[in-house]
Structure 1
Amino acid sequence: MSDPCLKLVLVTPEIPYNTGAIGRTCVALNLELILIKPYGFSLDEKAVRRAGTDYWKHVNLCEFDSWEAFLADRNPPRESLYFFEEHGAQTVYDPDYQEDAYLVFGCESKGLPKEILDGMEDRVINLPMLSPLVRSLNLANVATAVVYQAMRTKLGG
């Protein structure tokens, strides 16, 4: 399988187990993991390493002090940014993901900050939930589902 060039971006992640599990998925798929500070934990915590098992040392990790620092450094084209929120106007199945896509997820308790989403409403995507009994899904599960869908569409699946 070729290098997919997709990047997973976590904005102010709060739960070390989720970040560790997402890091493990990134290693499995040769993806870059971009973390935007502040975190709700230390990357040195056992929980991150435990969730990432012995794969954490292989994570292609890049950290930024803020969303603004990330934008200044990477300068991603608007069309390569995909924001995932439960109230997105389109579903994860709708976009044709760019080769260099940045798949952006917010923190577990609040999602993405309004100031990041302002003016990007057409770039906000949801992962459908069919039951009204469930308020939200686990961040690591959502990120994994999204990455595989993006890879499927990008690679002609």
Structure 2
Amino acid sequence: MSEKMEKLRSYLKVHAEFCTTANSRFDAQYKCNESLILAYGIPFEKRVDPAPIPGEPKSCYKNCYEGLLLHSNWHYCEGFATHENLPLALIHAWLVNDRGEVIDPTWTNRGGTAYFGVVFERKFVGERVEAARQYAILDSDYKFDFPLLKYGFADGMLNPKFHSRSREGRRHE
């Protein structure tokens, strides 16, 4: 695992530990998105550059949802990412192809990127975007009384091509 990925995961672990303490009264298995993503997420370090589709700056969820609709062999991801000019991890959306290579229409011309997150099933993405009336999945969890943080990802939410049942819910140490 690369140094940039180790730094990203370390950042997520520190923030997750803080959330566990700060949100101790929140009756949920995962106290924040960082904890949820550490439990279910996978690393993505290979990236297609330049991205084959342009996106609007600061519109990662919209850019990726629209890219998903245009390309049947791309998969929608959310989690946390960073790049060499960013001293912290941001919640972010990106796409991956069937080889697991990142396609990021939002962060163009960014070197030293690292992504850690989950790959969603296409059907779940469409249903959730329609129900929430917003593009983000993790950031719309509050609209449904936090089922993702309370219980984790249910069957049919994560893409089995990238997430085997044996890995789900396992903390990455």
TM class by smaller structure: under 0.3
| TM-score (norm: length of structure 1) | 0.27
Output the TM-score relative to the length of structure 2: 0.25
